[in-house]
Amino acid sequence: MDEIWGYPYRLGITLFIIIGTALLTLGFVGLAVWLEQSFKKEKIKK
């Protein structure tokens, strides 16, 4: 299993992991922000 860490793959894999994690984190935080805004807007409308 150790043999598969050839160079062309490693950079891609590293970027995949870092960018993927960052995107997912931002996605969850963005979800919370969107819901926060939507509830606040409703409160103001009331």
Partner 1 sequence: MKEMIAKIVKLITDNQVYRSVFRHGFPTTDANRALVMFSSVVLHLHPVRVRRGALKIRFTWCLGGLTFFFFILLAITGVFLMFYYVPDTRRAYNDIKDLGTVVYFGELFRNMHRWSAHAMVLSVWLHMTRVFMTGSYKPPREFNWVVGVILLVLTLVLSWTGYLLPWDQLALWAVTVGSKMAEASPLLGSAGPFGPEIGMTRENDVAFVLLGGTVVGQSALLRFYVLHCLALPLVSAVLMAVHFWRIRKDGFSGPL
Partner 2 sequence: MEISERIKNEAEKTRSPEDTVLVWPNLVYIELICMLFATAVLLLLSLVSPAPLEELASADTTPNPTKAPWYFLGLQELLVYFDPWLAGVVLPTMIIVGLIIIPYVDTNPNGKGYYTYSERKFSMLGFSYGLALWYILIVIGVWTRGLDWSWYWPWSDWHVHMSVTAVKLVDLELIFQNMLGLSPDPVLTLGRYAITVSNIMTWICFLGYYAIGFTLPFLLFRNFFNKLGIIRYNLVMLFFLSMNGVMLKMLLRLTFNIKYLVVTPWFKI
Site residues, partner 1 (CB under 8 A): 28, 31-32, 35, 38-39
Q: Which lies closer to partner 1 via its Cβ, residue 9 or residue 39?
A: 39
Min separation Cβ 45 and partner 2, Å:
16
Angle formed at CA 21 by CA 40 and CA 13, multiple of 5 degrees: 160
Of partner 1, partner 2, none, which one does residue 41 interact with (CB within 5 to 8 Å by kind)?
Answer: none
Could you give the C-alpha distances from 25 to 2, 19, 28, 29, 35, in angstroms and in order? Answer: 29, 10, 5, 6, 16
Min separation Cβ 46 and partner 2, Å:
11
Q: How many residues does the chain have?
A: 46
